[in-house]
Amino acid sequence: MKGKLITLEGIDGSGKSTITGRLKSNPVFYEFVFTREPTTGWIGEAVNRAIHSDTDDLAELLLFTADHAEHISKLIIPALKSGKNVISDRYSGSRYAYQGMTLKNRFADPMKWIQDIHKNWTVDPDLTILFDIEPGIAVERCGNRGDKTKFEKISFLEGVRANYLRLARENPERFVIIDTHRSVDEIEADVISTIFSLLR
């Protein structure tokens, strides 16, 4: 594919949306396509309903995965084929890390099981920027968020963070870990230079 796919991953409160907002308003990124998962389409809305209700964890994973399939075929592949660079705020890594936790009592190695059901149809990112942060600090930053989901508990997020770090260890060629215990300006500068070293 002609364009590059860059994904931003990390636990809730790690600063992904803040940085995405900064990049969107930076003229250097005007030609980029910005997207996110869950998407804003009807399957993404179904995912949001699942997140905010007592939906079975496997059903929830499959909804997220359906949303990913729709995202891949309708937006990601056409954009990359037309030569656009794409930045996605959350992508397949979120499923591996989060549902790797929610399904930990259902499968021996849920993260591997989830990666296996993505094989042969997902598009792997060229670069994944992992926003790494202590869950306690992330939850504090989200303190005033009115729409807390079941994913935002500290002990749960410790497991998600460990899953993300495992993904980074297993895919060192495409993962870059950014320490987000710093100022937004410093993080933004690191993210921009990481993206431009991929495109150079």
Residues that bind ligand ADP in the complex, under the rule CB under 6 A: 10, 12-18, 141-142, 180, 182-184, 187
Closer to ligand ADP at the Cβ: 1 or 177? 177
Nearer to ligand ADP, 67 or 80 (CB): 67
Which of residues 35 and 80 has its CB atom nearest to ligand ADP in the complex? 35
Smallest separation, CB 107 to ligand ADP (Å): 27
Alpha carbons 7 and 10: distance in angstroms, whole number: 10
CB of 182 to ligand ADP, least distance (A): 6
Q: Min. distance of Cβ 138 from ligand ADP in angstroms?
A: 7
The single residue listed with the structure tokens 């907002």 is 21
Nearer to ligand ADP by Cβ, of 6 and 80: the residue is 6
Residue 174 phi/psi, 5° resolution? -125, -5
CA distances from 146 to 45, 143, 149 (A): 18, 8, 9
Q: Which is nearer to ligand ADP, 3 or 125 (CB)?
A: 125
Compute the C-alpha angle 131/32/26, nearest 5°.
70
Minimum Å gap between C-beta 120 and ligand ADP is 30
Separation of alpha carbons 131 and 114, rounded Å:
21
DSSP state of 72: I
Nearest to 192 by CA among 35, 26, 31, 4: 26
Q: Considering beta carbons, is residue 147 or 173 the nearer one to ligand ADP? A: 147
What is the closest distance, in whole angstroms, from the C-beta atom of residue 20 to ligand ADP in the complex? 7
Report the side by side order of strands in the sheet with 175-179: 33-36, 86-89, 5-9, 127-132, 175-179
Q: At its nearest, how many Å lie between ligand ADP and the CB of residue 187?
A: 5
Tokens representing residue 44 in the block: 């993404």
